Each structure stands twice: as C-alpha cells, then as structure tokens.
Homo-oligomer: A and B are copies of this chain.
C-alpha cells in the first residue's frame, strides 16, 4: 500500500451532503471538506447527519490537514464535531474560514482550532501532497477547486462549480489556471455530479439579475420582500446593488442572514453602500423598502414563513407587498414551500415564485459544463462525486460518451477506497460506515431500531397495556390502557373496553404471545398497526 494513492470517500457518494474525502499516501492523510447532510423526510426527528469519520479518528496521527473548498454547510459543518475529537490544521480561503469560525464559536471550539488561510497564489504542502487551489464559480464567493499533486499523479478535485461566464461577483471558474496546473496530465478527476440529470448548461446568474431588475421596476410603490438562502452570498450582493439602483433601503430579517451579511461585509466580500441598510421597523414608504429574508424553503421558523402565517414580530404582509422567492426548492421541501406560498397569497401579497420568473439558478453546472470539465482536464480516470446514485451513474455515462473507457470510470460508494499506483487503478475493500445521526444532544446514538419505531409511531401511535397480576401471576383487576397517536381516547371508550376484555380473555386462555394477540385485535378492529407493549404490574 505504501506506493499506492488511496482516495476514500467518507461522505458525498450516493447522497447530496456530508462531503468528506480522504486522500492517503504512505503514512499521510489529507482530507478534503467536512460537511453535514440535512435529513430527509423519513429520517424522523433527526437534526443533521454527519459523515462517519471513525477512520480519521483511528488514524489521526497520519492526518496532515483538512482542506476546504468553500463555506457551505455540506462542506464545512461537520468540523465542529470532528475537531472535538482530533487536533488538525484546517485550510480554507478567507470567507470559508470566516464561516467555519462562526460554526466553531457556537460550540466554544474556536480557541482550540488551528485555522490557516489557503491562498490561490500558493501551493500548500501537506506531506507528499501539493495542493493548488483554483477559483471556481459557485453560489458563494471564494470557492475553489483543488489540484492535488501526489507521488503517483495529479488529482483534480473540483468541489462545487459551474462554468458561468457572467456569474455573480464576476468570478468565473479559472480554466486557464486549471490548465496550467495540470499541464503534466491528470491521473483522476473527482468531480461534482449534482446536475448530471440536467441537459445543457445551467443558466447564468446574469438572468437572475435581469429578472430581479425587471421585477423591481414592476413593483413600483410596493414593498418588496425577497427570500433567498443566506448562504447564497453572491445573490445578496446583486440584490443590494439593485436596491440601491432602484432607490430602496434594505432591511434584513432572519438570524443566519444577519450573521452572513455581517461576516461577508467585514471580510470585504460584500459591498454594502453607505446608509443602505435600515432596521426592519424603520418608517419608510413601502415603495422605498426592500426586506431581505430567510425562508425560501418554507422552513417553519424562518422569517418569511413567520410573515406568511402572521407570527413575525415586525413584518405584517398584505396588499402592497411583492414577495419574490429567489431560491430553488430543495427536493423534500415542496409541501412546506407550497403552504407558505398559499398563506402569502391569502394575505393579499403579490408573489413571484417557481416557473413564473427566473429568480434563481443552480450553483452547479449541468451536463454540458460537466462535459467541458472532462474535456479540459482529460483525466486518465474519473470518479463522479457529490451526488445521489443516479447523478453519479449519469455522470459516468457522460464520461463514457466523451470516449473514456468503461474500466476507467469509477462509481464509488462511501467507504469504498479507490487506489492507484499511477499506472493502474482499482477499488479496495469497503470499510464499514454507519449513518451518524445528530438528534438534539445525541450524536450517533439514534440508529435503525429507533428510526423504525418512530416511523411506526408516526403512522399509528402506541398502546401500552398495563396488566395487574399478583405473585402467582393471576390477573387481579382491570387492565389499563395508556395510548397516544392511535385514536382519540375520549371518543373511543368502546374500543378501549373491548381491548381490556380481549386482554383478560387472552391472558386467561394462556396466550403465549400477548403482544401479537393484541396487535391482531387492534388490526381487526381498526386496520391500523399501533406499537403495542403489554406490561405486567405486580400488585
């Protein structure tokens, strides 16, 4: 193994989120990104999912550093968890580190952390790895891809990117720098697959600017409220510039938005004209006001959702308001977003969303851009990354379409290492990984059993049957039923007393499996399958 490079994905393969990739050569490890995943709708009660970084903990003495590509949560937000367990230097561009700092502060870890600025002009040496960042266009400024020179060849790790030629902030993906850095050839391309199912090119951010400019003009005399992702910092810049142009003041609402604007401004990534910002309660004519808000996903506690259901403390929505949703709906959030939009319309607002106008474009390149990346890099091998299985496979298909051999295209899973000696490449034995769920303060303690119980409880609730018995295990008195989420007990007296009778009969009959008997009883009566737990109480 000493002479082989190993690339081991701990997250980001077969999922969109918790990106984390381990590069290993000899007794040296460097890590790219350390992100979280937001839970899917069937991950009941889960706040976050972390990559399973047991492998890193077990090999911590080998780790030379963590290099971050950009400051989005799916690339940095697992750091506060990992850095509680190991000490390792973290490298990132200034804005990325600024966002990391805030994450660490919230967990009181900032003192301990060793954060180092990654400069686009310099090459970082981490053991045998030479890491050269190159600028990429993405929906957050200061994003980079990495050329990682290793003893067996150069790896291009794109991070998230698009090839937008008129992006927000004016920073395009630097294909020239990439070309210079890779002029000796590329062993493998590890590339973003997010939009592998979208033909063509992702629309340029310029379209969003033009659309917003038009909508601002049309909303003359109306208050404008724009909801967007607080992390899409480049979009915030556009909106502020346009607001200035249309003689509007800007008020911010939503905690993450306030924090991100402050941070980006302090670091010089956001040019906020003097006197532009006002408080959301400022007495300003509607036609001169613009409120920037969180909540493009209909998140229950977000600012816009609170405005929509009338619980926002400062902003009342009604006629004379134009609400613009400037953020695509993340799969799984459609119903929340839909409900919020309905409420906004019912309050009399003019709402612009979805297909009605291009107020959002993706930060990830589509198929034609992915093809252009492959053709620019001409790698010997390709490892599609950052996508669910369908995206990885479609990216692989695209690579084959460009002429790559099937055997040179590697669709991996988390935990499956890719190895190469520079001449050949192969996959190694999978290391077993767990899903590490964060649920309140519990990290990694909630597993499949609890999740299945929650799923079942969510459908049909539970019944605890308390069965009073004496020392001889004889039934003494009436069984008690404790239940929630099954039926409304106050109106189900008949059912409950029938259940009590069933328990007594089954018990007297000497039923071997009382739980099973009760489950059958409730299914017969209601066609539901609540969680049933009989408990004997010694009286």
Question: Which of A's residues lie within 8 Å of B, judged by CB?
Answer: 14, 40-42, 44-45, 197-199, 331-332, 334-335, 338, 341-346, 351, 353-356, 388-390, 392-394, 439-442, 445-447, 449-450, 453-462, 464, 466, 468, 480, 482, 484-488, 491-492, 525-528, 531, 533, 535, 537-539
Contact = CB atoms under 8 A, between A and B. Distances in A.
B464 A454 contact: no
Contacts of A355: 197-199
A537 to B, nearest CB: 5
The oligomer's copy count stands at: 2
Given A44-B459, A345-B390, 13 more contacts: A14-B342, A44-B458, A45-B460, A331-B335, A342-B390, A445-B488, A450-B488, A454-B459, A454-B485, A462-B462, A462-B484, A464-B464, A466-B466
Ranked nearest first, the 9 interchain pairs of A and B with the lowest CB-CB distance are: A440-B527, A458-B458, A342-B389, A457-B457, A45-B459, A331-B334, A453-B485, A345-B393, A454-B485
Contact of A538 (B344, B461, B487, B539): B539
Given A442-B487, A464-B464, A488-B447, A345 B531 contact: no
14 contacts: A14-B342, A331-B334, A332-B334, A338-B388, A342-B390, A345-B389, A346-B389, A441-B525, A442-B526, A445-B487, A446-B488, A450-B485, A450-B488, A454-B457
Contacts of A388: 338, 341-342
Contact of A450 (B351, B445, B461): B461
Contacts of A353: 197, 390
A537 B462 contact: no
Contacts of A332: 334-335
B535 A480 contact: yes
A459 B334 CA distance: 20
A492 B441 CA distance: 13
Contacts of A457: 454, 457-458, 461-462, 484-485
B454 A461 contact: yes
A456 B458 CA distance: 8
Contacts of A334: 331-332, 334
Most buried by B among A332, A341, A485: A485
Contact of A464 (B341, B439, B446, B482): B482
A527 B454 contact: no
A491 B535 contact: no
Contacts of A525: 441
Contacts of A456: 485
Contact of A42 (B335, B389, B464, B468): B335
A278 to B, nearest CB: 30
